[in-house]
A and B are shown apart, each in its own frame.
Chain A
Amino acid sequence: MTSLLALDASSSACSVALWMDGNVIGRVEHAPRGHTRRLMPMIDALLDEADIARTSLDAIAYGHGPGSFTGIRIAAGVAQGIAYGLERPLLGISTLRALAQGAWQRDGASLVMPALDARLGELYVALYQAEQGRLEAVMADGVVAPEALVLPSCQPGSITMIGSGVTLLDRLPSGIQEYVGTTLEDREPEACDIVQLAAMDFASGLITSPQQALPIYLRDQVVSSKR
């Protein structure tokens, strides 16, 4: 049996999930500022529930961002520690891709624009399309002011927009607003979606070492001004 463990702390939610030959079980808690307290007990509870030993895990995955810088690093630290400690591959999965996966799998959306409020008047955003049973990126993950978003031409009402970025919908260019037919605002990236994407990547051999699977912040300009 192939088993993967995924965890995510990129938002105010804390989630963990296990993939066992296609069966997924997971746990989600609303845990603002509580990831440091909840993450390890949630992992233990999940493995207990599945009756899986930690040493029988084949790979580890985590939401590598974008999202809360501190949250991403908590997940990265724990995931790197576990993967390095168990000598297993570590897969960093985009939180935007995970949101899109959720909209596709659970809500039947085929053209998904995951968007997270990046603060400072910007959006973390991407565009994914379901093709031949899997999600493909039409527009790669990026950080952009909503007014400046540019998308390939789409059918009106064809896009499902998912994530906290929906609150900035009215600041998108009016043309893009017309593409958006459905909004799923109260959704956060979840480990149960991350673990499915990780399982696909793992099966395709898209694996990285724990040292290589670093956070992807997207926003790299973090020093506001020089002295």
Chain B
Amino acid sequence: MRVLGIETSCDETGIALFDSEHGLLADALFSQVDMHVEHGGVVPELASRDHVRRLLPLIEQVLAEAGLESHDVDAIAYTAGPGLVGALMVGAATAHGLAWAWQVPVLGVHHMEGHLLAPMLEDERPEFPFVALLVSGGHTQLVAVHALGDYELLGESVDDAAGEAFDKAARMLSLPYPGGPHIARLAEQGDPTRFRFPRPMTDRPGLDFSFSGLKTHTLTTIKALEAQGALDDQTRADVARAFEDAVADTLVIKCRRALEQTGLKRLVVAGGVSANQRLRQRLDTALGKMGARAFYPRGRFCTDNGAMIAYVGAQRLMAGERDAQTMLATPRWPLAELAPPARCQD
């Protein structure tokens, strides 16, 4: 089955074609980051407007790259949530219009299930069951993945997502949005021994995260340094390093704990923050010591993309699942509410 995947949940328009027999055929992405930079974050109305402009040209591009005609597409999958409702709506409406014209099934899928299964697009794929760390600007979650659609939430952030903490710390250091890559670059020059920031909620049992206290600690540190007139370039780099170390260590500690608690040996790391190299190095080291292994999607599939949506859609569409005639846009949608593929009722 050849599935066209459409992702419009936030500030990237992602399109891909996945073939259940031949794997990924083509994918394309337009990132709106430059448009939102001047506002210090995503402006939902601007994001929605841009998705309308980008969708059809990207679909055309992906079909051309795959050397396919429209009648070669067997089904359409789109992100139905969670995300920005207006942005989701653009993908949902276009998907339903296209599916109606092509007379093929269409299915709205869960964005985080896409991230969760993005490593399945790689040659070395994890087998079920595994633990997944979903870590992005909107989510920090540990999930036990028993099978497709069988997800158990092990822990999540009680306040800010890790990526959000990166964005906020970046702003405190006058770095642009999105914060993750900029903090990481600055931290390269930082002295890891100069400051030590707290590893929140690691001193007590459980798999929940909290990054709000770390954010406050970072702000307090920066304010104090500013007051002393000591916030020079090296000090900013040292602060960035201390912050990045604290986030990476916290995530590693909880991942190790989740693997111990579940007895599983495979960890999938996905979402924008999974592109962070310090996090990857520390995870690989920590997991190696316990005979476990981490799986990551390739770089461009760590962040939002159409390929993961096409992949998840294909798994569910092949099982007979599909939308009725309602376009789905669900801004809040807990992952644990998902179920294994179900045949359409109508």
Q: Which residues of A contact B (CB under 8 A)?
A: 36-37, 39-41, 43-44, 54, 69-70, 73-87, 210-211, 214-215, 217, 222-223, 226-227
Contacts and interface: CB of A to CB of B under 8 A. Distances in A.
A70 B48 CA distance: 9
Interface string B55-81: 111011000000000100000000000
Interface in B214-237: none
A84 B56 contact: yes
A85 B98 contact: yes
B93 A222 contact: no
A74 B101 CA distance: 16
Given A210-B56, A223-B46, A70 B97 contact: no
Contacts of A40: 96, 100, 325-327
Interface in B27-63: 38-40, 43, 45-46, 48-49, 52-53, 55-57, 59-60
Given A41-B325, A73-B48, A73-B86, A223 B43 contact: yes
15 contacts: A36-B93, A37-B325, A54-B103, A77-B91, A77-B93, A77-B94, A78-B93, A78-B94, A78-B96, A80-B94, A84-B101, A85-B70, A85-B97, A226-B38, A226-B39
Given A37-B326, A77-B55, A82-B101, 15 more contacts: A36-B328, A40-B100, A40-B325, A40-B327, A69-B45, A70-B89, A73-B52, A76-B52, A78-B100, A81-B96, A82-B98, A84-B98, A85-B100, A211-B60, A227-B40
Contact of A43 (B39, B43, B46, B100): B100
A214 B52 CA distance: 7
B95 interface: yes
Interface residues of B, number: 38
Given A222-B46, A226-B38, A81 B325 contact: no
A39 B102 CA distance: 17
B48 A69 contact: yes
Interface of B: 38-40, 43, 45-46, 48-49, 52-53, 55-57, 59-60, 70, 85-86, 89-103, 325-329
B101 A223 contact: no
Q: What is the predominant secondary structure among interface residues of chain A facing chain B?
A: helix
Contact of B49 (A80, A211, A217): A217
A42 B53 CA distance: 26
Given A82-B97, A214-B53, A222-B45, A77 B89 contact: yes
A205 to B, nearest CB: 22
| Chain A to chain B: the 6 pairs with minimum beta-carbon distance, closest first | A81-B97, A85-B101, A77-B93, A81-B98, A78-B97, A40-B325
Contacts of B325: 37, 40-41, 44
Given A36-B329, A76-B93, A84-B101, A222 B43 contact: yes
A226 to B, nearest CB: 7
B212 to A, nearest CB: 20
Nearest to A220: B49
A85 B43 contact: no
Given A44-B325, A80-B56, A73 B97 contact: no
B68 to A, nearest CB: 14
A85 B102 contact: yes
A54 to B, nearest CB: 7
A42 to B, nearest CB: 9
